[in-house]
Chains A and B, each alone.
Chain A
Amino acid sequence: MIGYVAGRSPLHRAHPYTTLALAAAVLFAAFAMTEPLGVWLLVLAGALLAASGGVLRSSARTALVVSLPIWALLFVLYGLLGAAPRAAVGPLDLSVPGIARALVLGGRVTAIVLGFLTALATTSPHRLVEAMTARGVPFSRTFLLASTLTVLPRMRERAARILEAQQCRGLRLGGSAVARLRALGPLALPLILGALAEVDEQVLALDVRGAAAGGRRTALDSPPDSVLQRALRWGLLVLVLAAYAWKFWRMRG
């Protein structure tokens, strides 16, 4: 899966809040769009955003991998099993309103995935934490977002080790559904109980690093922000609100 890709593009240099605001605007605007044209314009906007960050190829490839299964299910559920009127496309008999709905739903997911993958690829986690610290975001929130990702590989490795160890002791992973459910305990319990036993040690480690100290922290490498970027973020908010106003006005009409 895509992560941060170092670069010098305008998106890389932008304040992390601006990049995230762009992705969030795509997310909210996608749910405001009800016509295929609007949704696909958003997909185009997502692709342009990725291109401006120099990550179009990697973002588009991952977005495709994530979206393809959804597209396949939408095609079956709406295209093949959708309501009349129907149109023959080659050997297939497809639902016309079903295909239009599938284009909206699938385009929505693709636009959101593309927008956020671009934000993820162009926002350095270090700069984001610094930006949050500079804005006075409490330590607990930055800690949860940044440190949990570092714990995951360790937990995954431990889960794999427990799996191998229990198999060595004769635990069978196959068989009936009940047998597989019974195997869940010997695999999940050591993982969770072992992690719970380490809680005190981790609390102590955080305490000696001054995590419990109150007061505002000083960011040593705060990313620069500008009036233009702040205006852009407010502009995005106005655009999203306008999209929803337009959607509800059309629904009333």
Chain B
Amino acid sequence: MTLRDLVMVRLGVAINLVIGQIVAALLLPVFLDSIGTILVAALVGPRAAIAAGLVSQVLAAVISGNFAWLPFAVVQVVIALYAWGAARLGAFRRLWTAVLAGLGLGFVAASCSAPIAYFVFGGVTAGGVTLVTTVLRALGVPLGIAVASASYATDLLDKAIACGLVCVILRGLPRTLAARFPVLAR
């Protein structure tokens, strides 16, 4: 990993952890805690993006004190690889293709996180997702289906917005800055 990659990983981690502050101020029902990972995948490549995702997961645990969610680190690896593939296919060139790629990413991420949430934590994880699960369960939906539905609903929205925002960021990069990322030029 070059020094530039290293600095980009650190930047991706910081974005993942700080963007929540803005999301909380806007009272949006999403996390957007993987924007940094997706951005690093699009600008640098998969190795740096995986590092950004894993370090984010560990540091989020250090900051929040909740280390029980460490098994979800697998999801960060999947997000990094998917985002890199999407960037290689040029999905972030237009907003609509980015949102479409985000919906795909949401589906893939939820397919990974829902089994972990159900089998490892019995469906009780982050507050918002679990509230949806509880409401569905109260309506008589079986627990497994309630957990999966809550995961898919939140992840589809979350990742579509995240990928859309990354597209806007990449399009907003000044040419002089964009030229410093060879992966972007490809």
A interface vs B, CB < 8 Å? 1-2, 23, 27, 31, 62-63, 65-66, 69-70, 73-74, 76-78, 81, 101-102, 105, 108-109, 112-113, 115-117, 120, 140, 143-145, 147-149, 151-152, 155-156, 159-160, 163, 173, 177, 180-181, 183-185, 187-189, 191-193, 195-197, 199-200, 202-203, 206-207, 211-212
Q: In the complex the two chains form, what is the Cα distance from A27 to B66 in whole Å? A: 12
Contacts of B66 on A, CB cut-off 8 Å? 66, 109, 113
Contacts of B4 on A, CB cut-off 8 Å? 199, 203
Contacts of B98 on A, CB cut-off 8 Å? none
**Secondary structure class of chain B's binding surface, majority of residues:** helix
Question: What are 9 A-B contacts defined by CB distance under 8 Å?
Answer: A77-B124, A77-B143, A116-B65, A143-B6, A156-B21, A173-B25, A189-B168, A192-B35, A195-B15
Contact among A105, A173, A206 with B7 in the assembled complex (CB-CB below 8 Å): A206
Contact among A66, A160, A181, A207 with B64 in the assembled complex (CB-CB below 8 Å): A66
Distance in Å: Cβ of A172 to nearest Cβ of chain B: 10
Q: A184-B165, A206-B7 are in contact. Are A195 and B14 (CB under 8 A)?
A: yes
Interface residues on B, range: 35 or more
What residue of chain A has the Cβ atom nearest to residue B130's Cβ?
A73
Q: In the complex the two chains form, what is the Cα distance from A171 to B67 in whole Å? A: 36
Contacts of A116 on B, CB cut-off 8 Å? 61, 65, 67
Asked if A196 and B25 sit within 8 Å, CB to CB, the answer is: no
How many residue pairs between the two chains, A and B, have CB atoms under 8 Å in the bound complex? 169
Q: In the complex the two chains form, what is the Cα distance from A182 to B159 in whole Å? A: 16
What residue of chain A has the Cβ atom nearest to residue B26's Cβ?
A180
Asked if B11 and A195 sit within 8 Å, CB to CB, the answer is: yes
Asked if B65 and A74 sit within 8 Å, CB to CB, the answer is: no
Q: A81-B137, A152-B14 are in contact. Are A2 and B1 (CB under 8 A)?
A: no
Contact among B59, B62, B70, B137 with A77 in the assembled complex (CB-CB below 8 Å): B137
What residue of chain A has the Cβ atom nearest to residue B55's Cβ?
A144
Q: In the complex the two chains form, what is the Cα distance from A63 to B8 in whole Å? A: 33
User: Is B182 in contact with chain A by the CB < 8 A criterion?
Assistant: no
Asked if A148 and B14 sit within 8 Å, CB to CB, the answer is: yes
Asked if B13 and A144 sit within 8 Å, CB to CB, the answer is: yes
Q: In the complex the two chains form, what is the Cα distance from A101 to B65 in whole Å? A: 23
Q: A181-B161, A193-B169 are in contact. Are A163 and B22 (CB under 8 A)?
A: yes
**Secondary structure class of chain A's binding surface, majority of residues:** helix
Asked if B6 and A156 sit within 8 Å, CB to CB, the answer is: no
Contact among B6, B64, B65, B71 with A144 in the assembled complex (CB-CB below 8 Å): B6
Asked if B65 and A192 sit within 8 Å, CB to CB, the answer is: no
Q: In the complex the two chains form, what is the Cα distance from A101 to B121 in whole Å? A: 10
User: Is B89 in contact with chain A by the CB < 8 A criterion?
Assistant: no
B interface vs A, CB < 8 Å? 1-4, 6-11, 13-15, 17-19, 21-23, 25-29, 35, 39, 51, 55, 58-59, 61-68, 70-71, 120-124, 127, 130-131, 133-134, 137-138, 143, 161, 165, 168-169, 172-173, 177, 180
Q: A144-B10, A191-B22 are in contact. Are A180 and B67 (CB under 8 A)?
A: no
Q: Which 7 A-B pairs have the closest CB atoms?
A: A116-B67, A109-B68, A155-B18, A105-B122, A180-B26, A112-B68, A155-B14
Q: A148-B13, A192-B169, A211-B3 are in contact. Are A120 and B62 (CB under 8 A)?
A: yes
Distance in Å: Cβ of A102 to nearest Cβ of chain B: 8
Distance in Å: Cβ of A70 to nearest Cβ of chain B: 6
Distance in Å: Cβ of B164 to nearest Cβ of chain A: 9
Contacts of A197 on B, CB cut-off 8 Å? 177
Contacts of A31 on B, CB cut-off 8 Å? 71, 120
Q: In the complex the two chains form, what is the Cα distance from A25 to B71 in whole Å? A: 14
Asked if B22 and A113 sit within 8 Å, CB to CB, the answer is: no
Q: In the complex the two chains form, what is the Cα distance from A144 to B172 in whole Å? A: 27
Known: A120-B65, A184-B28. 20 other contacts (CB 8 A): A1-B64, A2-B65, A27-B70, A66-B64, A69-B127, A70-B124, A74-B122, A112-B68, A144-B55, A147-B10, A149-B59, A151-B10, A152-B59, A177-B28, A191-B15, A192-B15, A195-B15, A197-B177, A206-B3, A212-B2
